[in-house]
Structure 1
Amino acid sequence: MKVGMVLLGALTIAMWFGISSVSKKKEVLTNQYTELEAEIMQKELAFNDILTLYDKVEGQIGDILERERLVQQHNADQLDKRNPQKIFKQISMIDDLIFRSKQDLRQLEDEAKSANLKLGLFEKRIAGLQAELSTRSETIASLKEELSKKDESLAKLIVEQDSLHSTIHAQLENLEQRSLEVKQLTAQNNELNKSYLAIGTYEDLKAKGVVMKEGGFLGLFGKAWKLQEEADEAAFMTVDRRNLQRLRIEASMLDLVSSHPEGSYQILPGESEAEKVLEITDPERFWKVSKYLVISKKI
């Protein structure tokens, strides 16, 4: 009878662990599916933005071609007092379209790269737009030179406009360069301030591979928990340490598993017995040893 009870107890425990294991696997699969779904949606949105920008550039190049034909038609006609102004207006619009198209193409390239999409065919189409835009730029430059020889007033307008455009373009490029430098510095600063946070009971943290036990007398007694050095970053929440001064945690007790200097933080009582507050009093010292913050809690 006793043997039967023991076997029944063992079977019950085994079944409980089996159910618990299935439940954890189901939770992991659900989380993976949710992350995959979010990633697909993000890529779809990025692709739609890229496609919209591509269509915009393609339309602008079509507009350039149409205005280019008008300029060539005026050039073929006998120039009179009215034609130079008409031609100059079209040339001015073409110059503006070419400049905007170059800016949009640069943005298109950047977005295609940052979206991390495998768009081999699409990249060829972007290269085709760049080649077409380069051809249009060369064509309009030749037309300007040809028209300038035929009419002095038009030549003067073209020179003044080209000079103005060169100044504006140089200023814009300078601003873009400064903007790029600011973005790079911001990205570097964000990376430097990136930290990793994990909160849970010892059992939860161990299951995620965040902590492990070591030491102890004869490997049996007095073992201490410590941070798993090769822990998967996916088990942590990425945080910006500049925005992490106080953490309110539902727990009756808190303990820091990761290494942080004494005096750089304090654990305070919360608004109830079931809440504790971690306050980082000296952020520079607190994060000096480790960029990981692992908190074990007892509920």
Structure 2
Amino acid sequence: MKQSMKVGMVLLVALTVAMWFGISSVSKKKEVLTSQYNELETQMFEKESAFEDMLTLYDKVEGQISDILEKENLIQHQGNDRIDRRNNEKIFKEISMIDDLIFRSKQDLRQLEDEAKSANLKLGVFEKRINGLQAELNERATVITTLKAELSKKDETLALMISQQDSLNQTINAQLTDLEEKALKVQQLTAQNSELNKSFLAIGTFEDLQSKGVVAKEGGFLGIFGKRVALQEEADEKSFMTVDRRNVQKLRIEAASLSLVSSHPLGSYQILPGDSEAEQVLEITDPESFWKVSKYLVISKKI
């Protein structure tokens, strides 16, 4: 009887352990699936928001092109009448407004193309519509150039006004192009600097860091010196927080003690007590030397 009870107890314990591991496994899978769902939901929301912004900009350009066409028809009608001082001022005003609409539409189209590329969406049909707008805008620009030439032949005063306006527009466009090129160079240099200064940070207890595959114990002799905690070079970068090392000079960390797992020269940093016993401060005193060996900063803490 006692033997049967022992066997029954062993089976009960085994069943309980199996159920616990099963529940734990299901719970972990549920956490992973929930995390993946939330990530997908966020991505969908961002894509939907980006697409709505592009549609708004598309409608704006489409409306501007319609305005250009309407003003073209108005100028052509006025140009058929006898041109006098009163009439040429009206015509010139409409021409100036068309020039402005063409300029703004080109800027908006460029922005629309950039947003379509950066949104990383498969928008084959939408890209065709953008190309259609671009072709229509080019056609309107060609028509207005021809119209200007025809009107200039009819009236010397209007011809002078159009010539001066075109010259001013060319100067402004050249200056804007120059500014855009400089802004692009600054953007590229900034991106290069950000990439050069990109580093990876991980902070946690040894157990936390180990579970993420960031650190492992290796080498040494158990019972004498113990095993050394080492950074896992093949660790997934997703396990780290991406930081700009230029912004990491002083880290206040909730911990009783800290130690650096990643390699950094002694004298390039110091660990100081914080404002309370439960806080430690890592201060990087020589950033150039500190980051010279490794772009990873891994901090093991004890709470």
Specify if TM > 0.5: yes
Could you say what secondary structure the match of 1:261 adopts? coil
Work out the CA distance in 2 between the residues paired with 1:88 and 1:24: 71
- Equivalent residue, structure 2, for 1:101: 105
SS of the equivalent of 1:223 reads strand
Shift of 1:136: 0.4
Question: Which of 124, 133, 136 is the matching residue for 1:120?
Answer: 124
Kindly state the Cα deviation for residue 99 of structure 1 after the two structures are TM-superposed: 0.7
Matched, 1:43 2:47: yes
| Residues 1:65 and 2:56 aligned together | no
2:93 is matched with which residue?
A: 89
Selected match of 1:295 from 290, 296, 299: 299
| In structure 1, distance between residues paired with 2:64 and 2:33 | 47
Q: Deviations over 1:196-237 (max 9, x none)?
A: 11111222212111122333459xx84322111121111111
How much is the aligned-residue C-alpha RMSD, in angstroms? 2.3
Paired letter, 2:278: A
Question: What is residue 270 of structure 1 aligned with on the other side?
Answer: 274
SS at match of 1:229: coil
How far is 1:13 from its partner?
Answer: 5.4
- Amino acid paired to 2:89: Q
How far does the alpha carbon of each residue in 1:45-104 deviate from its partner, in whole angstroms, 9 at most, with x for none? 211211111111111101000000001111222323322111111111111110111111
**Mean CA deviation greater in 160-169 or 39-48:** 39-48
What amino acid is aligned across from residue 82 of structure 1 in structure 2? R
SS at match of 1:255: strand
Alignment partner of 1:143: what SS? Answer: helix
Identity %: 75
Q: Hey, what does 1:131 align to over in structure 2? A: 135
**1:6 deviation in Å?**
6.6
CA distance in 2, matches of 1:232, 1:297: 20
Q: How has the CA–CA distance of structure 1 residues 179 and 60 changed in structure 2, closer, same or farther, with 3 Å as cutoff?
A: same
Q: 1:177 aligns with which of 178, 181, 184?
A: 181
Q: 1 CA distance for matches of 2:302 and 2:12?
A: 32
Q: 2:38 & 2:183 partners in 1: Cα distance?
A: 35
Aligned to 1:226, the other structure's residue is in SS state strand
C-alpha displacement of 1:32 = 2.6
Structure 1 residues 27 and 51: alpha-carbon distance in aligned structure 2, compared to 1, 3 A threshold: same
Q: CA, structure 1 residues 19+262, in 2 after alignment: closer, same or farther (shift >3 Å)? A: farther
1:253 is the counterpart of 2:257: yes
| Cα deviation code 1:129-185 (max 9, x no counterpart) | 110000001000000111111111111111111011111111111111111111111
Q: Which is worse superposed, 13-22 or 90-99?
A: 13-22
The 2-side partners of 1:239 and 1:275 are apart by: 21
Count of residues in Structure 1 that have an aligned counterpart in Structure 2 = 298
* Aligned-partner Cα distance in 1 for 2:13–2:19: 10
Change in Cα spacing, 1:241 to 1:105, as seen in structure 2 (3 Å) is same
Unaligned runs of 5+ in 2: none
Structure 2 partner of 1:187? 191
Q: Does the residue aligned with 2:85 lie in a helix, a strand or coil? A: coil
Counterpart residue number, 2:201: 197
Structure 1 residue 12, shift from structure 2 partner: 5.5
Distance (whole Å) between structure 1 residues aligned to residue 247 and residue 14 of structure 2: 49
Q: Give the equivalent residue in structure 1 for 2:233.
A: 229
| CA distance in 1 between partners of 2:162 and 2:28 (Å) | 72
Secondary structure of 2:153 counterpart: helix
Residue by residue, what CA displacement relative to the aligned partner does 1:234-277 show, whole Å, maximum 9, x if unpaired? 11111121111121222222221111111111112222322222
1:133 and 1:33, CA in 2 relative to 1: closer, same or farther beyond 3 A? Answer: same
TM-score by length of 1: 0.91
Structure 1 unaligned runs (5+)? none
Residue identity in the other structure for 1:114: S
1:224 aligns to what SS in structure 2?
strand
SS in 2 for 1:195: strand
TM-score, normalising length from structure 2? 0.90
Distance between the aligned counterparts of 2:24 and 2:258, measured in 1?
26
